[in-house]
Amino acid sequence: MSIDWKTYDPAPFYDELIASRGSPRPVARRLTDYLRSLDDNELQIRKQAADHAILEMGISFTVYSEGENIDRAWPFDIVPRVIPKNEWVGVEAGLVQRLTALNLFIDDVYNEQKIFRDGVMPAYVLEHSRNFREQCRGIHPPHGVWAHICGSDLVRDGDGTLYVLEDNLRVPSGVSYMLENREVTKRVFPEVFENSSILPVDEYPTQLFDMLASISPRPQDYPEIVVLTPGIFNSAYFEHSFLAQRMGAELVEGADLVVGDDDCVYMRTIQGLERVDVIYRRVDDAFIDPEEFNPESLLGVRGLMRAWRKGNVGLANAPGSGVADDKVIYAFVPAMIKYYLDQDPIIPNVPTWLCVNDEHRGYVLGHLEQLVVKPANESGGYGMLVGPHASKKQRAEFAQLIRNDPRNYIAQPTLSLSVAPTLCDEGLEPRHLDLRPFVLQGVRTDVTAGGLTRVAMRRGSLVVNSSQGGGSKDTWIVDEEA
């Protein structure tokens, strides 16, 4: 029995593939016609092929449970998400605009702080920021760029409007899964790729290498680039090793590097010390240099900040860039865009209440059952309250957390997140999703064609994070005119 799109009902949500019961969106028609041509047995064979490919390719992620590290196969749904290229052109422009403004903001924060003096942003957002690094004051990194790699999470509301939900600027992850999702989908549905104009994503490792090379202190075609990882027990270790391999870069841990008397960084090799030009660091600020941050850190390199400050090594993302990776500061990004670029935001923010504001806090405390409340600096979907799905006890506990530390909490409306057809145990069902495109900024700016679509695999759930039961899909940007 084949898929009958007339029985698939996404209502009342906006569906990425289906406009209404039985009516695919024009950009998805070729895909939906193809899926309809497959019977249940063929669909299950394709799903099993994807599962086998993921195991064969070693695509995994690590979750922490009860003090143990558990390695799991990457959860993947074979039905892609499809976005028309003519819509994506605007999204891409909005992402470039946003990261440009964020980098101007970070550079301003660590230097003149004009945005505060001019009254565009209140000083308290910086005074209580957990990710502001005093050690970065007065530094001007190459090209004025601090956040070289950004993963901004996008969500679509019930009326089809795309919003930026948050910006990930510290150590954004997930791009390896975007690339591997495409490889798996090509194996599962090769026929569709032969007959569709789907924009490629496989140039990302080359673009990443070129961006990193652009911040090298020594101008050369092939600078020595390394990927600094916390080690095999980190949840994103698969990605660290994957990107190092794809770029032809060395994967190193802190103990593999040393800062010499000349304040340059060297890598220990069997041939002796070799100079390192650029470090793509996947270690948090607090642990990268025990000389200036956490003195007990074994993950970083003593003297690394000194070498970076003197311009002897490039660091991506730059230390201190996490100051803009704060959900309170997120609320001011539209004002940043207007202030630094004199432009209106192309992609809007989700409406946000700041609990540090007395009026906002009063509204939030009075409407917890309707809102999503998030801590300012957590990630992975942890520490948040989804009001409509929370118990009365949970809402009361969160109300007290807000009163105790209002600066640390923001609230947003519970959006009617878009859905897409997802192959579940019960058959094809709508599941909520988001999208994380990746933006590279150095001497130029590149945006991935699509990104990592994350799916809430549990029926009714809005939490898409893999660590909490979420999965993922391949994301197709389709050129309908080609």
| Cα–Cα distance measured from residue 87 to residue 297, given in angstroms and rounded to the nearest whole number | 45
Residue 61: pLDDT above 90? no
Q: What is the mean pLDDT of the chain?
A: 93
The token pair at 206 is: 């080359």
DSSP state of 376: S
Grade residue 219 by pLDDT with cuts at 50, 70 and 90: confident
| Cα–Cα distance measured from residue 438 to residue 175, given in angstroms and rounded to the nearest whole number | 7
CA 312 to chain centre: 29
| 183 falls within a domain | no
Q: Give pTM, 2 decimals.
A: 0.94
As a whole number, mean pLDDT of residues 411-440 equals: 93
| 398 falls within a domain | yes
CATH code at position 389: 3.30.1490.270
| 106 falls within a domain | no
| Cα–Cα distance measured from residue 271 to residue 180, given in angstroms and rounded to the nearest whole number | 34
Express each pLDDT in 276-322 by its tens digit. 999 999 999 999 999 999 999 999 999 999 999 999 999 999 999 99
Alpha helices in 25-128 (DSSP H): 29-36, 40-57, 85-109, 114-117, 124-127
| 402 falls within a domain | yes
pLDDT score, position 66: 47
Asked if omega into 26 is within 30° of 0 (cis), the reply is: no
**Strand 278-281, strand 314-316: pairing:** parallel
pLDDT score, position 194: 85
| 383 falls within a domain | yes
The one-letter amino acid code at 288 reads I
Residue 426: pLDDT above 90? no
pLDDT score, position 65: 52
- The answer to whether 63 and 409 have CB atoms below 8 angstroms apart is no
Max alpha carbon distance in the chain (Å)?
A: 71
Total of domains in the chain: 1
| 297 falls within a domain | no
| 382 falls within a domain | yes
The token pair at 394 is: 């949970």
Express each pLDDT in 105-154 by its tens digit. 999 999 999 999 999 999 988 888 889 999 999 999 999 999 999 999 99
Burial group, residue 70, by CB count within 10 angstroms (0-12, 13-18, 19+): exposed
* Residue 43 vs residues 32, 378, 445: alpha-carbon distances, Å: 13, 38, 39
Q: Which of 98, 93, 89, 90 is CA-nearest to residue 199?
A: 89
Helix axis angle for 237-247 and 175-188, nearest 10°, is: 80
Q: Which of 15, 57, 20, 333 is CA-nearest to residue 179?
A: 57
| Cα–Cα distance measured from residue 454 to residue 463, given in angstroms and rounded to the nearest whole number | 9
Domain that holds residue 399: 353-413
Strand (E) or helix (H) holding 422? strand 419-424
| Cα–Cα distance measured from residue 338 to residue 346, given in angstroms and rounded to the nearest whole number | 11
Residue 227: pLDDT above 90? yes
- The answer to whether 304 and 289 have CB atoms below 8 angstroms apart is yes
Express each pLDDT in 360-371 by its tens digit. 999 999 999 999
* Residue 476 vs residues 57, 143, 167, 171, 201: alpha-carbon distances, Å: 21, 32, 22, 25, 9
Q: Which of 243, 250, 269 is CA-nearest to residue 175?
A: 243
Express each pLDDT in 62-117 by its tens digit. 665 545 556 677 789 999 999 999 999 999 999 999 999 999 999 999 999 999 99
| 389 falls within a domain | yes
